[in-house]
Amino acid sequence: MGSGLSGGCACGAVRYEISGAPVSSVQCQCRDCQRATGSGHVNAMAFPQAAVMLTGELRFHDIRADSGNTVSRGFCPNCGAPVMWKFTSNPEVRAIVAGSLDDPSVFSPQKVFYASRGHAWDRLDPALPKFDTLPSR
């Protein structure tokens, strides 16, 4: 099955399998991602929606991003673990929270979004390209 990636929530009620390679791998330091993860940033890999097969049910919490678009953050209603995000600005993409992967070591960030909102205690790879906001596609 393509790249053979799989993962899910902390309690196992939600699982996913992914076929194919990610279209991007990013770290985002915006305040919404900080709040959603309880840390300094989110680590996420984006995939075409058709490549992600989900079992179980996610609950989504919608927020309005700085861009004015809606970000829907999917989490397990049982254990609360963040799993998958979707975007009104790019509905054919699903972002998988890297920590939800069965093998998170496959995550390799390519760039950092909203570096201007990062904290000194959240040290990311200085070699990564950093953007003060969300770059245009």
pTM: 0.90
Residues 44-74: pLDDT tens digits? 999 999 999 999 999 999 999 877 889 999 9
Tell me the pLDDT tens digit for each residue of 78-117.
999 999 999 999 999 999 999 999 999 999 999 999 999 9
Number of separate domains in the chain = 1
**Residue 81: inside a domain:** yes
Q: Answer yes or no: is 132 within a domain.
A: no
HSE (side-chain half, CA atoms, 13 Å) at 97: 23
Residue 50 maps to a domain:
yes
In a domain, 74, yes or no: yes
> What is the arrangement of strands in the sheet containing 5-8, beginning at the earlier edge strand?
5-8, 15-18, 52-55
Structural domain harbouring 63: 5-117
- Does 36 map to a domain? yes
d(CA 50, CA 48): 5
Determine the Cα–Cα distance for residues 115 and 85; give it in Å rounded to an integer.
20
136, part of any domain: no
- Is the pLDDT at 136 greater than 80? The verdict is no
CATH code (residue 68) = 2.170.150.70
Residue of 74, 59, 72, 79 lying closest to 13 (CA atoms)? 79
Asked if the model's pLDDT at residue 137 lies above 90, the reply is: no
Task: Give a yes or no: residue 106 inside a domain.
Answer: yes
Question: Is the separation of the CB atoms in 75 and 82 below 8 Å?
Answer: yes
Quote the pLDDT of residue 3. 55
